[in-house]
C-alpha cells in the first residue's frame, strides 16, 4: 500500500494540507511556511472588501486563502483547478480555514468547451504538481473546460488571476467579453517565452498597460525563520496588467513597452 503523501503544516495563512512530494509548493510550505510571499503581498494591495475575483489555476489555495480573506464576507472568489487530487486539497484548505466566500470548480478555463486531459500522475512521487500542462491528446484523466464568458455571468469583476501553464492566451480569449465589459486587473503568468509575444499583444489589444512582476519563491524573512534558500534565484515570471483608464499609481514596476520583451531572454 502506498504511503500517505498529504501532511498538515502550519503556514503564514493558517493550517494547510500539502503534498510533501510537491517539489515547489509543498516543499516550500513545509520548510518555510510560505512561498512567493511577495505575490501574496501584492494581492493584499489589489483586493478590497466586496470585490469579485476569478482565479484560473488555484492549485491548493496558497494565494486563494490570501485573496478570500481580503475580500471579506461581501466579496466572492471563484477558483478553477483542473487536477482532481489538487482540487480536493484546495477544498480541504478552504474548509480548514473556514473560508465561506469562495466557490470552486473542478475544471479548466480556456477558449473551448472541449474536455482536456490531465496527464497520468502519481502523487506519491516527487513532482512539480503546480507545473502540469493540459492537452487534448495526453493519456490520462479527462476534465471539463469552460469559457469564462459562458460559465459565469458576472455582475462585477475586479481581478483575474491566471496561472494556467501555457494556456494563458486561450483563457483570456474565453473571457474576452467579461474583460472588455468590466476591465478587471489581470495578473497573469508569462513564463513560456515562445508564447509571450502573442500573449502580450493580446493584452495590449484589450486596452491594458503591462508591468513585469517577478516575485522570488524564497523570502529571507519567512515565518519559520529558515535562512537556507533551496530555490536560489528562482522567481515567478508574471505580469500585472492595468486598464488604461484605471487610476492606479505603481512604484518599482517595470512597464512592458514591446511585445518582444521577456525577462528570461536576457539570461539566454
What are the tens digits of pLDDT across the range 146-167?
999 999 999 999 999 999 989 9
User: Residue 5 burial (CB < 10 Å; 0-12/13-18/19+)?
Assistant: middle
Q: Kindly report the CA angle at 23 between 54 and 122, in degrees rounded to 5?
A: 85
Per-residue pLDDT at 268: 39
User: All 3 cell numbers of residue 170?
Assistant: 486561450
Decide: helix, strand or coil at residue 86: helix
pLDDT at 16 > cutoff 80: yes
Query: How many whole angstroms separate alpha carbon 133 and alpha carbon 114?
Result: 16
| pTM assigned to the model | 0.95
- Average pLDDT score over the chain: 93
Query: How many whole angstroms separate alpha carbon 177 and alpha carbon 37?
Result: 32
Maximum distance among all Cα pairs of the chain, rounded to whole angstroms: 58
Domain boundaries, the chain: 8-267
pLDDT at 267 > cutoff 50: no
CA 195 to chain centre: 18
- The pLDDT of 62-77, averaged and rounded, is 98
What are the tens digits of pLDDT across the range 230-257?
999 999 999 999 999 988 888 889 999 9
pLDDT at 123 > cutoff 90: no
Q: Which listed CATH number (3.40.470.10, 3.40.1550.20, 3.40.50.2300, 3.40.50.150) goes with 8-267?
A: 3.40.50.150
What are the tens digits of pLDDT across the range 18-55?
999 999 999 999 999 999 999 999 999 999 999 999 99
Amino acid at each position: 500500500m502506498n504511503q500517505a503523501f498529504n501532511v498538515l503544516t502550519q503556514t503564514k495563512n493558517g493550517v494547510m494540507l500539502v503534498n510533501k512530494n510537491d517539489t515547489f509548493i509543498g516543499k516550500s510550505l513545509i520548510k518555510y511556511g510560505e512561498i512567493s510571499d511577495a505575490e501574496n503581498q501584492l494581492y493584499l494591495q489589489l483586493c478590497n472588501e466586496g470585490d469579485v475575483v476569478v482565479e484560473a489555476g488555484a492549485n491548493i489555495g496558497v494565494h486563494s486563502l490570501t485573496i478570500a480573506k481580503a475580500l471579506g464576507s461581501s466579496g466572492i472568489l471563484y477558483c478553477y483547478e483542473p487536477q482532481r487530487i489538487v482540487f480536493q486539497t484546495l477544498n480541504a484548505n478552504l474548509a480548514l480555514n473556514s473560508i465561506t466566500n469562495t466557490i470552486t470548480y473542478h475544471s479548466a478555463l480556456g477558449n473551448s468547451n472541449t474536455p482536456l486531459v490531465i496527464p497520468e500522475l502519481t502523487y506519491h512521487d516527487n513532482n512539480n504538481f503546480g507545473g502540469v500542462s493540459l492537452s487534448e491528446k495526453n493519456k490520462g484523466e479527462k476534465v471539463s473546460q469552460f469559457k469564462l464568458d459562458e460559465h459565469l455571468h458576472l455582475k462585477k469583476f475586479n481581478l483575474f488571476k491566471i496561472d494556467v501553464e501555457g494556456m494563458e492566451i486561450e483563457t483570456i480569449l474565453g473571457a474576452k467579453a467579461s474583460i472588455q465589459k468590466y476591465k478587471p486587473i489581470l495578473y497573469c503568468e508569462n513564463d513560456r517565452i515562445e508564447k509571450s509575444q502573442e500573449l502580450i499583444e493580446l493584452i495590449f489589444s484589450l486596452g491594458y498597460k503591462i508591468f513585469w512582476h517577478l516575485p522570488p519563491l524564497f523570502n529571507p524573512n519567512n515565518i519559520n525563520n529558515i535562512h537556507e534558500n533551496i530555490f536560489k534565484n528562482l522567481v515567478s515570471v508574471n505580469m500585472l496588467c492595468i486598464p488604461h483608464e484605471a487610476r492606479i499609481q505603481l512604484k518599482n514596476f517595470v512597464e512592458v513597452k514591446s511585445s518582444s520583451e521577456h525577462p528570461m531572454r536576457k539570461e539566454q
